[in-house]
Amino acid sequence: MKESEIQSIKQRFGIIGNSPKLNHAIQVAAQVAPTEMSVLITGESGSGKESFSKIIHSLSSRKHGQFIAINCGAIPEGTIDSELFGHEKGAFTGAHESRKGYFEVTNGGTIFLDEIGEMPVNTQARLLRVLENGEFIKVGSSKVQKTNVRVIAATNVNLISAVESKKFREDLYYRLNTVPIFVPPLRERGTDADLLFRKFASDFSETYRVKPIQLTDDAKRILLGFRFPGNIRQLKNLVEQMSVLEMDREISGEILLKYLPSQNNSLPAVVSRDNGGKEDFSERDILYKVLFDLKKDFNEMKGLIHQILEGETSKSEILEKHGNLFDEHDGLSESTVHSLPVESEPLLLREHQDEEFIENVQDITHINAEDESLSIEKKEKELIIKALRKNNNKRKYAAQDLGISERTLYRKIKQYEIDE
């Protein structure tokens, strides 16, 4: 395919970048589009997989048919069969009338199944039947129906590992993976991050009617060296924050670093299976570590408080022997602490002056013993409630903030009996 044709596709679908890996993915998508072959798009969350499904549909003979994008991780397990294949009246409690599923509605078109790795195993068997002979059965029916739908699937997890752990059907994997397309993460796209930064800065300058922000040379080097685990979505959010909050339109490296999380503790976009057994930690994981460390220090402080009240220990002796309680917490760097969510900061021990500590001793002695129970479940529930409130109970955006799938969020809401 000529370079001019690739550039034309980029302009049509709003794809920014010139990296060879990106151009190769676009070329494969354009070549497979006129066929009826199933396509599996892989890549990290936020890397732009849905754009490639639209390229394939728009350049195919089905372009005048319907295109539906479905997030398999956002549909509860109990209703996904009904959503995809439809149901008959009375098939289950609440089925007051018959309903057509996506595979019936999209006959002659294309279905994009995002997060295919989240699909329940029973539903995978139904999908395999559709892919092999175009047949499906509605929930609560025994009648076999036909459909002519092209399936494009996408995932941000390692499906081979899912197959090995029996969470994904091997026959479905090979049926979907007829033509694989890998969308590269932003950190593997060279200087594309700078091009995207400028594009987003221009877009937000029009949205908020401000002058577009620009990077200095040192800021640009920092930007291009950052991993961006959240990929394009994370970069876009970063540019929007600075466009709104920064008065100075020239962004220096020092300013940029204030908005970039610690490289070691940034929120992972995908659970990697190939990282040598090392785990990526989210901000919630750091918070839990701090809480457990605080519990240990809290018990130590109770003993110190008792000594102070009894007059057994002087202030200078406390600071000399137990200075670690008032310095940076357990080896966590200052940058790590500042990378935590703002709402978690009051939970952290800050630097205390000698006088301030003694003045607040009486307040500390009134801490209820129940506060010593630092439950992961309790904190997880609180974080979920905060995320839901922040996003006006929109699960999709709350799940993105929490770094989990919508299905996982749905299960947690039921588990903790959270009223939305």
DSSP 395-410: HHHHHHHHTS-HHHHH
Looking at 1.10.1240, 2.30.29, 1.10.10, 1.10.1420, the CATH number of the domain 377-415 comes to 1.10.10
Give pLDDT, residue 344.
39
Per-residue HEC secondary structure of 158-197 comes to CHHHHHHCCCCCHHHHHHHCCEEEECCCHHHCCCHHHHHH
Residue ranges, CATH 1.10.10, the chain = 377-415
In words, the CATH class of domain 3-184 is alpha beta
How far is CA 278 from each of CA 156, 272, 377, rounded to the nearest angstrom?
Answer: 18, 9, 24
Give pLDDT, residue 361.
42
Give pLDDT, residue 313.
55
Residue ranges, CATH 1.10.8.60, the chain = 190-259
Specify the pTM: 0.62
Give pLDDT, residue 312.
54
Q: b/e string for 313-348 if b means 16 or more Cβ within 10 A?
A: eeeeebeeeeeebbeebeebeeebbebbeeebeeeb
| pLDDT tens digits for range 165-190 | 999 999 999 999 999 999 999 999 99
CA atoms within 13 A on the CB side of 152: 28
> What is the CATH number that goes with domain 190-259?
1.10.8.60
Instruction: Look at residue 144 and give its three-state secondary structure.
Output: strand
How far is CA 376 from each of CA 240, 288, 349, 383, 386, rounded to the nearest angstrom?
Answer: 32, 7, 19, 10, 15
Which positions of the chain have pLDDT values less than 70? 263-375, 420
Give pLDDT, residue 393.
86
Give pLDDT, residue 322.
56
Separation between Cα atoms, residue 251 and residue 260, nearest integer Å: 13
| pLDDT tens digits for range 49-90 | 999 999 999 999 999 999 999 999 999 988 999 999 999 998
Residue ranges, CATH 3.40.50.300, the chain = 3-184
